Amino acid sequence: MTGRVVLVGAGPGDPDLITVKGAKALAAADVVIYDRLVAPALLDLAPAQAERIYVGKQPGGHAMRQEQIDAVLVEQAGLGRTVVRLKGGDPFVFGRGGEELLACADAGVPCEVIPGITSAVAAPAAVGIPVTHRGIARSFAVVTASTAGAAHEPDAVDLTAVATATDTLVLLMAAGRLSQTCAALIAAGRPADEPAALVMWATTPEERSVIGTLADLPALAAAASMGPPATLIVGEVAALPREVTSRATVAERSQPHGAPA
């Protein structure tokens, strides 16, 4: 008897941001295989008797290699179970969900994909940065910063190909190589004084952010003790939170004395 696998996007961090369909899938799970950045509260949505298997990856070490995760998915489904593969953000945005989908297909295991809110859009939005904005940004691209500027890596990201090809650039997993990434973007043609922001633990109680320019952001982030997981946003839209604050201050000061704000 063959069960099935459901790839579920857990969203960017806040457990309330999982989709209704994703929550329903968890409620019907026999086993939940989950990542490091999944909100612990989401595991409570699964039945008490459901098995929970941690397969998280973090800088410097993995609980399981990807090939092992693929094998566990197939093995558990082969036992006739409904397997929820719970992944932070969206399964198909740097989540290796495509590899897991193919592994299921090769084994003849039915697999459903339930999209999730990706941090590529949610992290900027959480601090008031739209990735597109009329008159400022008509395009955006999402890349990984985990291998940015690391020419010796076999899958290193060549930032020169995307650095100036889009108005807004969103780089995931940016904290570990922030200095190298910012320097590589400047070398590839992005202005050193262009607005840039770093958002850490977006949509969670631990959320923090810093806004500066490409040139000074690494120093600002270091001074603020920013670390992973973090998302880097580069482009004119990164200055919008300061503009909002400035306009709100002006509006407040323009209120007549004693008038309601």
* DSSP three-state, residue 79: coil
For every residue of 21-44, DSSP letters joined together read HHHHHHHT-SEEEE-TTS-HHHHT
Q: 44 an active-site residue?
A: no
Could you tell me the two tokens for 128?
Answer: 């008031």
Among 30, 87, 167, 173, the active-site one is 173
Question: Is 44 exposed, middle or buried, given 0-12, 13-18 or 19+ CB atoms closer than 10 A?
Answer: exposed
Q: 90 an active-site residue?
A: no
Contact 90, 113 (CB under 8 A): no
Distance CA 159, CA 123 (A): 21
Q: 173 an active-site residue?
A: yes
Among 14, 35, 70, 90, the active-site one is 35
Q: E strands, 105-203, where?
A: 111-114, 140-144, 168-172, 195-200
As annotated, the active-site residues are 35, 57, 173
